[in-house]
Amino acid sequence: MSNEEAHWIVLKFGGTSVSSLENWKNIVSVIKQRRAEGYRVCMVHSALSGISDKLEELIERAPENETGELVQEVKNRHYELGEALEVPVDELLADDFSELEHMVKGMELIGEASYRVQARLLAMGELMATKLGAAYVRRELGTGAWIDARDCIRTETLKDVSERSLILAAVSATDEDASVRERLDAAGDLVVTQGFIGSDENGKTVVLGRGGSDVSAAYFAAKIGADRLEIWTDVPGLFSANPQTVPSARLLNHLSYKEAQEIATNGAEVLHPRSILPARKHHIPIHVRCTQRPELSGTVISDESSDDAALVKTIAVRKDVVLISMESLGMWQQVGFLAEVFEVFRQYGLSIDLISTSESNVTVSLDPGLNSHFHDVRKLFVEELSGLCRVKVIESVSAVSLLGRRIRTILHQLGGAFEVFEEQKVYLVNQAANDLNFTFVVENEQAERLVRQLHDHIITQSGNQQSFGLTWPELMGEQEKDVRDQQPWWKEKQEQLLDLVERSGTSYVYDTDTLKKYAAMIESIDPVDYRLYAMKANANPEVLRTFRELGFGFECVSIGEVRRVLELFPDIDRGEILFTPNFAPRTEYGEALELGVNLTLDNIYPLREWPALFEDEELFLRIDPGHGHGHHKHVKTGGMHSKFGIPRFEIEEVAERVEELNITVRGLHAHIGSGIKDPYSWKRTAIILHEVAEELGGVDILDLGGGFGIRENETEAHLDVQEVASSLEQFREAHPGYELWVEPGRFLVAVAGVLLTRVTQLKGKGQVKYVGVDTGMNSFIRPALYGARHTIVNLSRLDEPNSQSVNIVGPICESGDKLGIDRLFPHAGEGDVVLVANTGAYGQVMSSNYNLRPPAGEIVI
Ligand code: ASP
Ligand code: MG
């Protein structure tokens, strides 16, 4: 391709990216690649990391003549990098260093710095850094022209804009600009220039506001009509939440400009909010990528919206928002009242972000970015506003926003997520008119927890794999090394498993080593005193034996389960069995009491209707904590619409009857559902049970239930077991008088089990391909019942590449008899062994003889 035809591409590298030799090596290889692809490269870069801060500090401290050390620090940073890059710093930066010293002296003399001087000083950071960078690039690539961005980015003198903004937060036009393009064309096909800086109509230096290098890069891209804008930074893209506080946050593979704008505006600091519009206007795709990991593809922002289904993409939080609540003094309905109120905001230069109104109150939030002067004007502003209404300033609150598209249309699906607000005070709810943003304002301390919970409910559990990529730890290879990250046990035991199928045919296989590993994780939750295995998940005798050996008790939900435990372990202490029936017939309660096992009532009915049965007995009570959690509505077991547990409003009556009948309530029990990844869930249950326990008196045991979530497939996050432990530790410190019990089921056995079945027939209906196997929903009903997604592999061909997308279906006469839909699969042949992973829980126990097809048997290894 000749230069005339070559297209430009803009690469922007941030402060951290340009501060080490290691990163510079990556930068050079990216530039090389782009040039090899035939692009001309305009590289825009920031000051070295932290230098803009130091220069701001210089401006602040100059009047006190305390700047000598700071100037030296700034110089040293450049010497250090220059040495690492092996470029001659003195030669390259001598003029800049002396100009810097000169300016600082001037500021000290005058005792303050005008906006003009501030802009010139701040611009030094970018000017110095790019001189080092350009020298390095030139040496490595043999080409590269340093260009002064001030010759390209001319800023506009807007009306009604303060002098400060015109100089320190300037804006430029976003039209194509032939003169800029010509300037770059003339400089060659690789230029290195500065972010952040420009010049005004008089040619004087201005800057674009902190973080403005992104904006510069977008201006360059717009002005020269670049094919693409790449923002290279120290994170691998934009995420579904801040990965620092939500480790399960997922990379956003693709965003529309509008979504990206909303995310950038609402707190993600990866991309400057003003950098999107110029790109959007010219349909220039933005790629956000990580300098340290150039092989990752990052986030792509473009108008090529893959689909426009409603979706929450990010949960963002902005801390330290200020709310102004205005209560009317009777003049509410008067025409012009709001106008008068807002006029006061205008007068004080306060920019309003969110608004929420009621009959007699208007509450607004101040845009945190734009109102740094609020504290200076607060007193006068409040005084003036108080003339119109009763004013309350609410501080230390955070705005938590759900960002995505067409959020209004999916609010009903968010029902479960909203349960998290039960214990929270919400100061303001705001739905953006563009339907891309739904915001709640809550206390600062609550914000992080709320974000984690909302994220868990809305994003982790959505199972959407198209929009959401890997988590930060997965991308950056920082996964904690626990057993859950090892490669699946069935890969290691492939040969053994294939042999087993050869001999025994289609079967469930349970791996005892894996059972033990998961048991150890539950045992590591220190504050828990006693663990029961909820045997309804898997009642295989050998599995039960393993848990008995490990010292677990048994939680049973039917008299049949109780009997099985007693048959297997006739000597077991009856106290190690907890029987928790739901709507069971009266006889089961009688039998349990006779057997002497712990018995849980989960309804007031037995006490009212069969009082004689329970007189003088010890009982557990199952309480409905009032909310439910879980991966699917069928597995939520708390809340009004769940059939489990005694509602809180009946506790008083329960207490009376307990007293009358001389019953001892030994323990309270709650179980709110399954597949829970929110580590605080058990502590919340403990708090609620504790309240009830105090009401009833005499309770020793709080059984917090199970529901410990596993990673159902490779796209999911782990439950943070340590966090469960430390939150329960806090509870235990606050309320040392209680024994804590838990009763996991699925968590203990799911991963240890696989279902092995064989391919019967293949079918292709055009694009839709079917792989038939010899058992289906008769053995394993979770996919049909809950839409559960289980990893499925062709165990006979583990090493062969996936070549097609298939549905894996069973032989049952039922169109829902599908084990997996749209799975990438290698070419399969009749007789191949297909493995369905994580089927150790609720597999065999839920199987049936439907169609008179016997379900898979069980083998324990
Ligand atoms: N150096 C400037 C700052 O730190 C601009 C940038 O890096 O984006 O604010
Ligand atoms: Mg930045």
The CA 47 to ligand 1 mean position distance, Å, reads: 6
Q: Is the pLDDT of residue 1 over 50?
A: no
- pLDDT given for residue 436 in this prediction: 82
Ligand nearest to C-alpha 209: 1
820-846: average pLDDT: 91
Q: What is the pLDDT of residue 702?
A: 95
**How far is the C-alpha of 668 from the C-alpha of 681, rounded, in Å?**
16
Give 785 or 2, the one with higher predicted confidence: 785
Domains by residue range for the chain, with CATH: 8-234 (3.40.1160.10), 312-476 (3.30.2130.10), 513-743 (3.20.20.10), 753-860 (2.40.37.10)
Residues having C-beta closer than 5 Å to ion ligand 2 = 211
**Mean pLDDT rounded to a whole number for the chain:** 89
Residue nearest to atom 6 of ligand 1 (CA): 211
| pLDDT, tens digit, 9 for 90 and up, residues 687-729 | 889 988 988 888 999 999 999 988 876 556 678 888 889 889 9
Residue 789: the pLDDT is: 80
Separation of CA 759 and ligand 2 centre (Å): 53
Reading the block at residue 615, the tokens are 């007189």
Select the more confidently predicted residue: 310 or 492: 492
Most confident of 60-74, 296-310, 730-744: 730-744
Give mean pLDDT, residues 360-369.
82
Q: Which ligand is nearest to the CA of 15?
A: 1
Cβ-in-10-Å burial (0-12, 13-18, 19+) of 462 comes to middle
Instruction: Say how many Å lie between the CA of residue 649 and the centre of ligand 1.
Output: 57
Determine contact, residues 706/743, Cβ cutoff 8 Å. Answer: yes
Cα–Cα distance between 425 and 785 in angstroms, integer? 37
The predicted structure's pLDDT at residue 484:
67
Nearest to 167 by CA among 322, 292, 59, 89: 59
Active site residues: 813
Tell me the CA–centroid distance for residue 271 and ligand 2, in Å.
6
Ligand 1 mutation pick, 56, 213, 233, max ligand atoms within 8 A of CB: 213
* Cβ of 125 less than 6 Å from ligand 1: yes
Q: How many angstroms does the Cα of residue 42 sit away from the middle of ligand 2?
A: 18
Tell which one of 12, 44, 46 to mutate to probe ligand 1, the residue whose CB is within 8 A of the most ligand atoms.
46
The finding on whether 54 has its CB within 6 A of some atom of ligand 1 is no
Q: State residue 34's pLDDT score.
A: 93
| Predicted local confidence at residue 376, as pLDDT | 85
pLDDT at residue 628 above 70?
no
Whole-number Cα distances in Å, 296 to 264, 288, 654: 21, 10, 59
Between 472 and 52, the higher pLDDT residue? 52
**Cα–Cα distance, 831 to 484 (Å, whole number):** 31
* Pocket of ligand 1 contains residue 52 by CB under 6 Å: yes
Q: What is the pLDDT of residue 3?
A: 47
Distance 386 CA to ligand 1 centre (A): 40
CB of 195 closer than 6 A to ligand 1?
yes
pLDDT at 419: 66
Give, for ligand 1, the residue of 55, 196, 214 to mutate: max count of ligand atoms closer than 8 Å to Cβ.
196
Q: Is the dihedral of CA 557, 563, 566, 569 positive or negative?
A: negative
What confidence score (pLDDT) does residue 468 get? 84
How far apart CA 714 and CA 712 sit, in angstroms, is 7
CA of 46, closest atom in ligand 1: 7
pLDDT tens-digit readout, 642-660: 778 888 888 889 899 999 9
Q: Is the pLDDT of residue 414 over 80?
A: no
* β pairing state of 190-194 and 39-45: parallel
Q: For a pLDDT cut of 70, what percent of the chain falls above it? A: 92
Ligand nearest to the CA of 215: 1
Per-residue model confidence (pLDDT) at position 457: 78
Has residue 790 got a pLDDT over 50? yes
Of 831 and 160, the one with more pLDDT: 831
Under the banding of pLDDT at 50, 70 and 90, the label for residue 480 is very low
Ligand nearest to the CA of 52: 1
- Ligand 1 neighbour 362 (Cβ under 6 A): no
Mean pLDDT of all residues in 432-460: 82
Per-residue model confidence (pLDDT) at position 487: 80
Comparing 109-113, 204-208, 516-520, 810-814, the range with the smallest average pLDDT is: 109-113
For residue 133 and ligand 1, the question of a CB distance below 6 A is answered with: no
pTM above 0.95, yes or no: no
CA of 209, closest atom in ligand 1: 9
- What one-letter code names the amino acid at 736? P
By alpha-carbon position, which residue is closest to atom 2 of ligand 1?
211
Q: CB of 212 closer than 6 A to ligand 1?
A: yes
Q: Is the CB of 213 under 6 A from ligand 1?
A: yes
**Residues 232-255 pLDDT 10s:** 999 999 999 988 888 889 999 889
Cα angle 320, 321, 323 (rounded to 5 degrees) comes to 135
pLDDT tier at 305, thresholds 50, 70, 90: low
Closest approach atom of ligand 1 to CA 196: 5
How far is the C-alpha of 605 from the C-alpha of 495, rounded, in Å?
Answer: 54
Categorize the per-residue pLDDT at 787 as very low, low, confident or very high, splitting at 50, 70 and 90: confident
